[in-house]
Structure 1
Amino acid sequence: MSQPDKMGRFIEAMKTVYGPFDELSSDNANDWIPPDNPGAGGHRGRYLWTDAFGVVNFITLFKETAKPKYLTLAKRLVETVHDTLGRTRDGAKRLDGATDEEPLVGGLRIGKLDAAGSDGDGQYHHYLTLWMFALNRLSVAAGERDYNDLGIQLARAIHPRFLVHCLSGGVKMVWKISMDMKSVLVPSEGHLDAATGYVVYKLLQETASKQGHRNGVLKQEITDYWNLMSRKGSLSPGTDMLDLGMGLWMCHIWQDEPWAIKFRSKALPKAEELLDGSSAMMQRSASRRLAFREFGTCVGVTCCDASEALQDRVEDLLAFWEKHMDSSDGDDDLKPISRVMYATGLVVGAFRRGYLEDDGV
C-alpha cells in the first residue's frame, strides 16, 4: 500500500472516532470539542487508552501534512480528556488532590462505562503511562514544555499509588486502583507495567533536561521501576498480541540498552510465529479475534524496524482487518479503540522514537 493511500485510510479511520475534523479550518480548530458521539467509546465519550492514541495520531497528521490545525486538535483533545477523565464521573469536581493549576495530581480515570464492578472505572498504570507518552510527544512536537511538565506531574502523582510495600519487605506493583487512588482494586501486577514506567518516566526526564530545566526530576521513580523490572523473569515477552506489540514498542524507545536488545531478540521471533499465515491465531475467523489487540503487534513490529518479511506479515494482517473490521466490531464499545489503533498500524508516525524533530536520536 502506498503512503498516500495509507494516509487516506488513516484519516478515514480517525474520522469514525473524532468526526469530520479534516473539514475544519484553522480558526475553527481552536474551538473544536472532541465529540462524545461517536467519541472514544468511554464514559461521557472519553476513554484514556483510545484518546492517547488519538493525540499521538493527530501529531502524526501534523507532521505528515504540515497543517498546524492538527496540532491544535491534539491540544484540544488533551484539554478535553483532562476536563473529563480528570474529574469525578458527575463532572462536579476534579479528582482528589487536583486543582485547576495542577489538574493531574489526582490522576486520570480509565473512562469505563460502569462506575463499579469487575470492569468498572478506576485507574490503570499502563493507560496512565501511555497518556504521559502522548503528553511528551505533544510537548516535543509543539515546542511547549508545559505538556511534558503535565506528564511529570501525573508521573509523580500516581507512582506511590501503584507501588505496594509487602510484609516480606519487598515492593510490588498493582494493576488497578480506585478513581480516588485510595484503594487497590486489582492486586495482581501488570506484566510490563514496571518496564513501561521505566521507559516513559525516563523519556519525560530526558525531555525536561533538554528543555533546560528539572534535571533528574524523576530519578527515584526511574530507579524504583528499574529495580522492579530487573527481577528474574520480569521481562519475558508474552504471546498476547497486544502485550507483545506494546512490549516491542516500549523497548524500541531505548533500543540500545541491553535489556531492550534482549527483549527484542526474544519478542520478534514470537511475533513471526503469531503473524505466520498458518498459525492458529491467524486461522481463526474474525469473529473470534480482537482487532485492536492485533494492531498492537503491528505497531510494535513497525517501530522496531523488523525484517521486510515480518513487515509484509503486518501488511497482510492490516489487509485482513480492512475486510472484516466493520462486521466484527459493529457498533459495540470496541469500535473506537480498533479504529485509532488501526490508523497507527498503518502509519506509526509519532509513536516511533526519532520521528519528531529535536527528538535526540
Structure 2
Amino acid sequence: MADRSRSTAARELLEGYLERTGVTGEGDSAKRYLWTDAFAVQALFGLSHIFEDKYFQDLALKLIALVHEHLGSHHPDDLRKDRISGLSEKEAALHPTIAGLRIGKNLPERREDQSYNSQLEWERDGQYFHYLTRWIQTLLLAHRETNSEEYAVWALELILAAERFIYREGDHIGMYWKMDTVLSRPLVASTGAHDPLEGMFCAKSIQLALPERAAELDPLVRKLEELCRGRDWATSDALGIGGLLLNTTRAAEIIAQNGKLISEVKPQKLLKDSLYSLQIFTPGFHDQQPAGRRLAFREGGLSLGIRSLNGRKEDLKMLQPELEQLQKYQNVARKIEDFWLEPHNREARSWQEHREINTVTLACSLLAVQAPQVFS
C-alpha cells in the first residue's frame, strides 16, 4: 500500500473514532480516555499536514477542549460533581489542567475504605503520570501548531500538578504510578519504567517553550534528574520500545535547541537502549499469530515509534550512523500495520475489546510515515 493510501486508511479509521466518541457524530462525547485522545489529537494534526486541510486542526482543538471539560471533572459516578481543581467553571476554563486530568476509566477510583484488587484496579479511575506526560506532549504540539501560548501554559500547569507523583522518604526518592483523582494519595505505588524519563522531557520542553517561566520548573527538573541517574531504559515490551523510540527524538530535539540533558537521557543513550530492546523483542515477534492472541495498541505503539524516528532521520544527524540500524526494523512496522489493516483481523475479540485505542494507535502509525514530526 502506498504512503498516500495508508494516510487515507488512517483518516477513515479516525473518522470512525471521532463519530463513535461524539467529536463529530452523535456518539457519546463524554466517552473520553486521556491516552487515546492524546494520540488522536496528534493524528488529527498529522492529517492537517498531509491533506493540507485546516478542518483537521479544528477538530484537534475541539478534542482538546472536550478532554479538558470531561476529564477535568470528577467521574460521572462520583458523588463529587465539580471540577477536580475545585475552581469555578469560569476559572477552570482558564486553568483546565491545574489539578491534573482523570484517566477516563469506566469505574470510579478506589475509595480509601476499599481493599486493593490488582485486576479491578485496571478498570478504576484516577490519574496516571504517564498519561499526563502524554497529554503534555499533545499540548506542546498544539502550541507549536497554533502558536497560541495558552497551550504551553496549560502544559506547564499540568507538569506542576504531576510533581505530586514524586515523593521522598529519607534518602530515597520515588514516584507513584497511579494516584487518586485529586492527587492526594497513591493508588499504585510502583514506578512506571519510563515515567521519570518522560517527565524529564516534558519539563525540559516546557522550559524551552516558555523561557520566561523556566525557573519555575528547576526544582522539578532536579528531582527528575535524580530519578533518572544510573538508569537503563531497555525493555522487551512492544509499547515501551515504541515510547523509547519517540523519546529518542524528543531528546534530540531538546539538544538541538541548546537544552541540557544528563548523560542517562541523552539521545545517543536512548537510541542505544532502543536498538538493544528491538534486538530482544524481534526474535519472539511472530507476525503469523492469530489476531485473538495479539494486542493491536501495543504493537501499533511499537510501529509508531519505528516510523516516527525513521521519518526524522534527516533531521537527526547527531544520531548517525547508529540510526541507520533502525532501517532493518521497518519491515516489522509494515507487517504490524498490514495485519491490522485487514478487516477480518479487526473482528477479533482482542481488537473489539480495545477498539478505540487500537483504532487510534494504528492510525498514528500509518500517518507517521508522512507526518513523523507530530508524534515527537
Band of TM-score, shorter chain:
0.7 to 0.9
CA–CA separation in structure 2 for the residues paired with 1:244 and 1:51: 21
Q: Please, which of 304, 308, 311 is the counterpart of residue 330 of structure 2?
A: 311
**SS of 2:187 mapped into structure 1:** strand
1:17 maps to 2:7: no
1:104 maps to 2:111: no
127 and 351 in structure 1: CA distance in 2 versus 1, 3 angstrom threshold? farther
1:297 maps to 2:305: no
Moved more, 78-87 or 282-291: 282-291
Matches for 1:1-361 after TM superposition, within 5 Å: 1-19=1-19, 33=23, 37=27, 44-90=30-76, 92-98=81-87, 99-100=91-92, 101-115=94-108, 116=110, 117-119=120-122, 120-159=124-163, 161-166=164-169, 168-209=170-211, 213-230=212-229, 232=230, 234-255=231-252, 258=263, 259-275=266-282, 279-305=284-310, 307-323=326-342, 325-329=345-349, 332-348=352-368, 352-353=372-373
Conserved in 1, the CA contact under 8 Å of 2:295 and 2:351? no
> Which is helix-richer, 1 or 2?
2
Question: 1:195 Cα shift?
Answer: 0.3
CA–CA separation in structure 2 for the residues paired with 1:170 and 1:62: 46
The equivalent residue for 1:25 is: none
The equivalent residue for 1:28 is: none
Question: 1:224 Cα shift?
Answer: 1.4
**SS of 2:348 mapped into structure 1:** helix
Conserved in 2, the CA contact under 8 Å of 1:55 and 1:134? yes
Moved more, 261-270 or 177-186: 261-270
Question: 1:220 Cα shift?
Answer: 1.9
Question: 1:142 Cα shift?
Answer: 0.7
Task: State the identity %.
Answer: 25
218 and 34 in structure 1: CA distance in 2 versus 1, 3 angstrom threshold? farther
Counterpart amino acid of residue 240 in structure 2: D
Q: TM-score, normalised by structure 1?
A: 0.85
**SS of 2:210 mapped into structure 1:** helix
CA RMSD in angstroms, aligned pairs only: 2.6
Question: 1:269 Cα shift?
Answer: 3.8
Conserved in 2, the CA contact under 8 Å of 1:163 and 1:174? yes
Question: 1:173 Cα shift?
Answer: 0.3
CA–CA separation in structure 2 for the residues paired with 1:86 and 1:337: 20
Aligned residues: 333
270 and 170 in structure 1: CA distance in 2 versus 1, 3 angstrom threshold? closer
Question: 1:20 Cα shift?
Answer: 9.2
Structure 1 alignment gaps of length 5 or more: 22-31
CA–CA separation in structure 1 for the residues paired with 2:40 and 2:370: 11
Conserved in 1, the CA contact under 8 Å of 2:3 and 2:370? no
CA–CA separation in structure 2 for the residues paired with 1:253 and 1:130: 12
